[in-house]
């Protein structure tokens, strides 16, 4: 887990990249009903804006309250790193799914001109996304990103500026 703000920013950038890329491909596949080069192209074209949206919401809005909930109700500072990682991941995924599902609904309405369906699309996207995002985060993205992060930046190599 990140030890300071610099590490946290780098970790967030890597995690958001992983999650947004995977979830973009998942959502485009669900929307198009197939997985092929067109799906990958559509997902990749929509990725930069979705990534920026996710980074902004993660860093400025979701992260602090999610960690506060995790440490208030579920874990203690002395809890094992694994337990803290799992609980914080769960507390982050749920609000991020809500926020990113709204982004997806906005994107769908923008492409389809169906603004009257925005609320319906958003609310139906949330359960579809939570059933993919939470297991993916816990089983694949979380362990993978932590491994990549600590391999690239061993503990103590990213220092807080004095």
Residue 161 DSSP symbol? P
For residue 59, which of 19, 22, 10, 102 has the smallest C-alpha distance? 10
Q: State pTM to two decimals.
A: 0.89
Burial bucket for residue 113 (CB in 10 Å: 0-12, 13-18, 19+): exposed
Tens digit of pLDDT at every position of the chain (162 positions): 777 888 889 999 999 999 999 999 999 999 889 999 999 999 999 999 999 999 999 999 999 999 999 999 999 999 998 999 899 999 999 999 999 999 999 998 998 899 999 999 999 999 999 999 999 999 999 999 999 998 988 876 766 554
What is the Cβ-side half-sphere exposure of residue 67, based on CA atoms within 13 angstroms? 11
Longest dimension (CA), the chain: 52
What is the Cβ-side half-sphere exposure of residue 7, based on CA atoms within 13 angstroms? 19
Positive/negative CA dihedral, 76, 81, 84, 88: positive
């Amino acid at each position: 887990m990140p030890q300071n703000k610099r590490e946290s920013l780098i970790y967030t950038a890597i995690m958001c990249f992983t999650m947004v890329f995977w979830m973009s491909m998942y959502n485009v596949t669900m929307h198009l009903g197939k997985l092929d080069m067109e799906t990958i192209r559509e997902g990749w074209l929509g990725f930069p804006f979705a990534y920026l949206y996710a980074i902004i919401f993660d860093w400025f809005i979701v992260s602090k309250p999610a960690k506060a909930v995790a440490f208030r109700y579920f874990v203690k500072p002395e809890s094992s790193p694994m337990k803290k990682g799992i609980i914080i991941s769960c507390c982050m995924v749920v609000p991020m799914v809500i926020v990113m599902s709204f982004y997806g609904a906005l994107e769908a309405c923008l492409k389809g001109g169906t603004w009257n369906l925005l609320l319906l699309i958003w609310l139906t996207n949330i359960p579809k996304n939570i059933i993919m995002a939470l297991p993916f985060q816990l089983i694949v993205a979380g362990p993978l990103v932590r491994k990549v992060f600590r391999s690239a930046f061993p503990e103590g190599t990213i220092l807080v500026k004095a």
